Amino acid sequence: MPVIAFSPLLSVPSGAQYRPICRFYATQSPQSSSDNFKDLAGPPEDSKLSPLSPLPTPTPSNTPPTPPPDWDENPNFNISAFSQLPHTNFGVNQHILINNEFKEALRQILWQFRAPIRYAFAYGSGVFPQSSSRSSGPPVRTSNNPAILAAQGSEGKMIDFIFGVSHTQHWHSLNLQQHRDHYSALGSLGSAVVSRVQDRWGAGVYFNPYVTVNGTLIKYGVVSLETLCRDLSTWDTLYLAGRLQKPVKILRDDPRVRLANQVNLISALRTALLLLPETFTETRLYGTIAGISYMGDPRMSLPTENPNKVANIVSNQLPNFRRLYAPLVETLPNVSFQDPRCRNPSWADDPTTDAILKQDMDPIKRGNMVRRLPKSFRAKLYSHYQRKFKIPDQDFEMMMEACRDEDATGIKRRQGGELDQRIANDLGSLRREIGEVIKRTIGWPSSSQSLKGVLTAGFGRTKRYVGDKVGKYKEGKEGRIGESESTEALSPKGETTEDKNQESTNSKTNDK
- Per residue in 332-362, pLDDT (tens digit) is 999 999 988 888 888 888 888 999 999 999 9
Do the beta carbons of residue 155 and residue 124 sit within 8 Å? no
Residue 139: per-residue pLDDT: 57
CA distance 260 to 198: 21
Asked if pLDDT for residue 1 goes beyond 70, the answer is no
Domain boundaries, the chain: 3-360+439-501
Q: Which residues contact 371 (CB under 8 A, 6 or more apart)?
A: 378, 403, 414, 415, 416, 417, 420
pLDDT of residue 467: 65
Q: Is the pLDDT of residue 194 over 80?
A: yes
Q: Compute the mean pLDDT over every residue in the chain, rounded to the nearest whole number.
A: 79
- Poorest-confidence range of 59-68, 190-199, 422-431? 59-68
Residue 213 host element (H or E):
strand 206-213
Q: Are 288 and 452 in contact (CB under 8 A)?
A: no
**Residue partners of 505: CB distance under 8 A and separation at least 6:** none
Cβ–Cβ < 8 Å for 483, 308: yes
Q: What is the mean pLDDT of residues 239-250?
A: 96
- Which of 283-292, 333-342, 494-503 has the weakest average pLDDT? 494-503
pLDDT surpassing 90 at residue 499:
no
pLDDT at 58: 37
pLDDT band at 82 (very low <50, low <70, confident <90, very high): very high
pLDDT band at 301, cuts 50/70/90?
low
| CA–CA distance, 355 with 371 (Å, rounded to integer) | 28
